[in-house]
Structure 1
């Protein structure tokens, strides 16, 4: 018995740390309820940011308003988050109030109107700020001169304290958030300042997430008509600097056999050989999507197969956050991938909106690289963030812009992780793409990372010559006309020579007579 126990301990100790990180966690489901989107206020957009952050912790989310709440919903979830953006709104749902009295799961409250039960359990006392500037801090991060107006802050609370809020006047010295047992409270949460990042620290503990967050570098907006030589130069510079990276590429659904497409594929293969990972970006959604005949599912599968058949291993999908809350886009576009990176919504075009998100085994929280640059950090080396995060920037249009970005990356003390280290899977009917511990596989065959360039012939008829009616007759007519023109020129030349000689003889004869 003792020998068996020792063997188990040895096996556990032999498991590599990166494998432990990749172990699948039991699915977790969170109910997110809010009173309003606070459109036109500084809190606008915080619900969307919270949804993406929950996805980065591999959570499945069901979202609801108080008005849409149905009796018995709370009892279906072990974790509930309530966001109260509106200071003058009261909960009118009798069913919610009744269910909350009996709720025994984990509860996180954000914003105004903290329930009496939460106040009692946390021994919580709050006040409301005036219009003033405050300093936010969390971990190694700090942001000064954040303007706030009429927001609550914590005066007293039991439990673990997170970060801090202090006023420039010196009358506020409060924790950013608190947590004790199953209850947690965050009074202030906005998108675009340090509170967006600070929420991640509270969420990680409240969700009981133990995995260490990873940091990825993601370059977006790479198209077939991008400057492919510049893409290769960027890959070379990042490779020489030892920075692994991801490129999010726009899919192509037609003319995949053209030389221009082949050159695009060769460039992506070269990027892959320079320690770059490939992400398939969602296609641009227009009001006419799916009206041309081809299904989105078939188009996405076609592009994935084109990549895989060329020796390129796509490892995930990049899409705006709303895609994961749309049944059509989930089933038709995202179902091939178990990993995504969700971007902030820019232009929402739902086709079949649903209240429940699609859960992925990996879904990094994306933020522009410039987002972190607005904050101070205590140490020179930037520490890992609580969640998986993808720091993004759009591909540059000029070499000078690219060199400037490359220098900025090299000057920042950020440790970027290799996306291939984690387990990713992309699967179609024809191809299965996997990444395992930094190695890539297509249909169980290892991907050759040093595949040489192929020469792509630029002389190509993009429009095939079609058969023309009466072409033979026109050709005969053209030849006859050419012959007539040549004959006319010959006769004209002969007459010119004869006339010249006659005029010359007449001129000489007149001279002799003189």
Structure 2
């Protein structure tokens, strides 16, 4: 039996993520997306490869600092001997997610494996317990000694209850029996990944209003912002800009709403363009650069200074979108991918950022089946930069629900204005910087103001009282009076007739 002594990996090297299948039928792509985003949130460069596409010799100590194996389709029992062989020789950090643990992995974890079948589980951490969806089949570690544990799983078999670790780390080897994209498991997953790769101190979540666009109901947006400001809740918005119709009053009103956000302890992330809006225009580096540059300059000219970019994860897995669209920002909001999206020049590699937020829904967090609501657990911090997302309300009912959800939360929110680090955007010849609540453009401090857009002037057409107009006017009034008098007459006749009819039957 060969024993591999761990070596100190180069922190600048990427991590290799190998998954067996997208498992589209069971929406398995969400897990791949989630793992990618969390690794990026830990400040890692990632190369993602499907198991069947792995080539012999790819995984080596001089090319990667770690490897993550994600088993996404347990029933298929897919394998690749070249990958198994190379991983056994690899001395860097190893994380296995899901079933099908191999002998070399168990050796590194210094444990044996067991199996539970058809069980209802609970996950506990930080004094909170969450009910996990029914588990059909799950591998777990047996006889694990000298390990770090992240969360506790309990089976609910009466008389035969098992208590198992959720996450396990032994030296630079780690194991998670499954991966959840939200809920209490995320806190455990973040702690484990940070301990494995780039250790970080606990951080507070950032509240984000998502889907803000020029066509949003700005009255609802303003009310929500006022409510957050009144309750001393710092926040951010993911705001889409456009390059057309910018002289319209509606656009100026939109920019005014974004300026008010900056004045009320909020920051703005510019949302990358929706690619489906490129109707009749080729999506290439030149067009994309021109579009994003123009949108950013329009915002700056309107007194709005984005502090970063908001982007679906697939942009960071694309050579054109990532290199041209994202490299300008030091910090990004990594949104979950939509179900479908156009691919420009997909690549295996993703880039790193000074700060990348793992974004998940505040609503999903609130819906988790836990003993204590995860939105009321003020002792629950996140290890990696995490943003909790609320959708821009479209109706008054949605606005009330969002306000109630945020006001009912007891989370300690991140306050970007209180940070020591700067947030930067560099595009073309423009450098935007946000530090301790102050905005700079090319090194010059900017004065944020609340100047409202000039109101539209309504032109009233003069009404000429011609003879015909007077006749039609009087005719309409006469008809209205005639109809009312006729109806009253009918009512009186009916009443009188009914009285005469009943009088016939009365005894005289």
Q: Give the TM-score category using the shorter length.
A: 0.7 to 0.9
Deviation at 1:417, TM superposition (A): 0.9
Q: Given the alignment, which residue of 44, 50, 55 partners 2:40?
A: 55
Between the aligned partners of 2:233 and 2:92, the Cα distance in structure 1 is 42
Displacement of 1:218: 0.3
Please say which of residues 49-58 and 25-34 is displaced more in the overlay: 25-34
Distance 1:190 1:411 in 2: 25
- The answer to whether residue 251 in structure 2 is matched with residue 267 in structure 1 is no
1:165 aligns with 2:153: yes
Partner of 1:277: 267
Match of 1:406 in 2: 403
**Is the deviation greater in 60-69 or in 31-40?**
31-40
Root mean square deviation of aligned Cα: 2.5
Contact 1:133/1:148 (<8 A) preserved: yes
Deviation at 1:275, TM superposition (A): 0.9
Distance 1:145 1:268, change over 3 A: closer
2-structure distance, mates of 1:222, 1:88: 41
Q: 1:72 to 1:139 in 2, by over 3 A?
A: farther
The partner residue of 2:227 within 216, 234, 237 is 237
Aligned to 2:332: 340
SS of residue matched to 1:291: coil
| Shift in Å, 1:89 | 5.0
**TM-score (norm: length of structure 1):** 0.79
Alpha carbons of structure 1 residues 195 and 384: separation in structure 2 relative to 1, 3 Å: closer
Structure 1 residues 478-497: aligned runs within 5 Å: none
C-alpha distance in 2, partners of 1:123/1:331?
A: 41
1:337-365 deviations in Å (ceiling 9; x for gaps) = 22111111112211100000122111101
Does the residue aligned with 1:101 lie in a helix, a strand or coil?
helix
Matched, 1:186 2:181: no
Indicate whether 1:376 and 2:376 are aligned: no
| Secondary structure of 1:130 counterpart | strand
Change in Cα spacing, 1:228 to 1:352, as seen in structure 2 (3 Å) is same
TM-aligned CA deviation for residue 211 of structure 1? 3.1
Residue in 1 that maps onto 2:108? 121
Instruction: Give me the whole-angstrom Cα distance separating, in 2, the residues matched to 1:305 and 1:26.
Output: 36
2:348 matches 1:355 = yes
The Cα offsets for residues 106-144 of structure 1, whole Å up to 9 and x where unpaired, read as 111112222222212323122222212111123344212
Match of 1:448 in 2: 447
CA change 1:93–1:26 in 2 (3 A) is closer
After superposition, what is the alpha-carbon deviation per residue over 1:58-79, rounded to whole angstroms, capped at 9, x for unaligned?
1111001222112322111111
SS of the counterpart of 1:441?
Answer: strand
Residue 42 of structure 1 contacts residue 190 of structure 1 at CA under 8 Å; is this kept in 2?
no
Change (3 A) 1:150 1:70: same
- The answer as to 2:434 corresponding to 1:435 is yes
Among candidates 153, 158, 170, match of residue 140 of structure 2 = 153
How many residues get paired? 436
* 2:189 is aligned with 1:199: yes
Name the SS of the counterpart of 1:163 in structure 2: strand
SS in 1 for 2:350: coil
Please state whether the residue corresponding to 1:397 is helix, strand or coil.
coil
TM-score normalised by length of structure 2 = 0.80
CA distance in 2, matches of 1:404, 1:85: 35
State the shift of 1:26 in Å.
5.8
C-alpha displacement at 1:184, in angstroms? 0.8
Match of 2:386 among 359, 384, 389: 389
Alpha-carbon distance in structure 1 between the residues aligned to 2:252 and 2:277 = 30
Deviating more after overlay: 152-161 vs 262-271: 152-161
Kindly state the Cα deviation for residue 225 of structure 1 after the two structures are TM-superposed: 2.3
1:292 and 1:68 map into 2 onto residues whose CA distance is 30
Contact 2:117/2:136 (<8 A) preserved: yes
Q: 1:43/1:323 Cα in 2 relative to 1: closer, same or farther (>3 Å)?
A: closer
Select the residue among 296, 317, 323 that pairs with 2:288.
296
1:319 is aligned to 2:314: no
Instruction: Rate the CA distance shift 1:325–1:44 in 2: closer, same or farther, 3 A.
Output: closer
CA contact (8 A) 2:187 2:383 kept: no
Q: Deviation of residue 329 (structure 1)? A: 1.2
Alignment equivalent of 1:458, drawn from 453, 456, 459: 456
Which residue does the alignment assign to 2:203? Answer: 213
Cα separation, 1, equivalents of 2:360 and 2:381? 14
CA apart distance, 1:425: 0.9
Q: 8 Å contact 1:418–1:438 — kept in the other structure?
A: no
Partner Cα separation in structure 2 for residue 121 and residue 99 of structure 1: 14
